[in-house]
Structure 1
Amino acid sequence: MGPDDEHALRAAADATAAAGERWSYRWRPDLPWADYVELVRRRETHAEPDDVAHAELIADVGGTIVGRSTIRLELDDFFRTLGGQIGYLVVPEHRGRGHATEILRQSLVFLRDEGVDGSVLVTCDDDNLASAAVIEKNGGVLESVVPGVADVPKRRYWIG
């Protein structure tokens, strides 16, 4: 991400917010763009005390931001139980075109390139059948369904 990406990312974040979803945990519309870019870059390799080391990647198709992934390079108790190692999102107007499947596939490659070996935990809300299908297309095997946040059960998948 750089200075030229601000308008496109803000548009993607706004579209996501209009659908009642959050672009990412780091995104704050009131934060100056340069500060946001620095926050994402800094946190990619240096976890804050209340966070884990991760990378936030933007999914771009032909110059259009279609989504993002957050790839956790380490796990705390929350991510080990409910959040998983990869979180992904597709901007609402770009859904249903296979972008989520590709975002997850490339996120798995990124994790492997970062030296994360073994099975990868990916979770989704139990009622999010589209996300469950994406995870399964990427080799996810359902381990269990566990109580989640706000009474929304979570599916826990492992991808070897």
Structure 2
Amino acid sequence: MVEGFLAFLLYLATIMLRLRLSKAARPSATVVTSAALVCLVALALCLLFGDAVPFWSFAATYGFLTLCFLMVFGAVYKSISLRILLDLSRRPGHRDGYDAVMARYIVEESYQSRLSVILENGYATVNSGHYALTERGRRLATAVRGVQRVFNIETSG
């Protein structure tokens, strides 16, 4: 368990450095790829400097701590509610009107920013002001619909 905990500390240090040093990489990709890479490096270090690697206790400890962190990171990273709270804390009097909040977070955050991500990832194209799914976008939409059916998810947001 000690090895798994130390590997998790190495993971935290790694992502803190990577997130600060690399402005081009997406934070979500950075934390996920770092989790796998640090796991492999930590196992190699255990083999290099130790007699035997207690693999299952290492994997359980490192995996549990890393997944807990990833859940919290994902919630903080993508939470529009937290962004609204932070934005309100920066406003004079710590308040703002409903219309301004709706315009910033529903239109800008929920629609325009996400459309640009969809375009950047090649899931859709824009032509004459109209958005159209690419073949890649159709495959992803079909897969998502299938997963929603399996888990009886009628709406998502």
Do these two structures clear the TM 0.5 threshold for a shared fold by scoring above it? no
- Relative to total residues, which structure has the larger helix share, 1 or 2? 2
TM range (shorter): under 0.3
TM-score when scaled to structure 2?
0.25
Asked which structure has the greater CA Rg, the reply is: 2
- Relative to total residues, which structure has the larger strand share, 1 or 2? 1
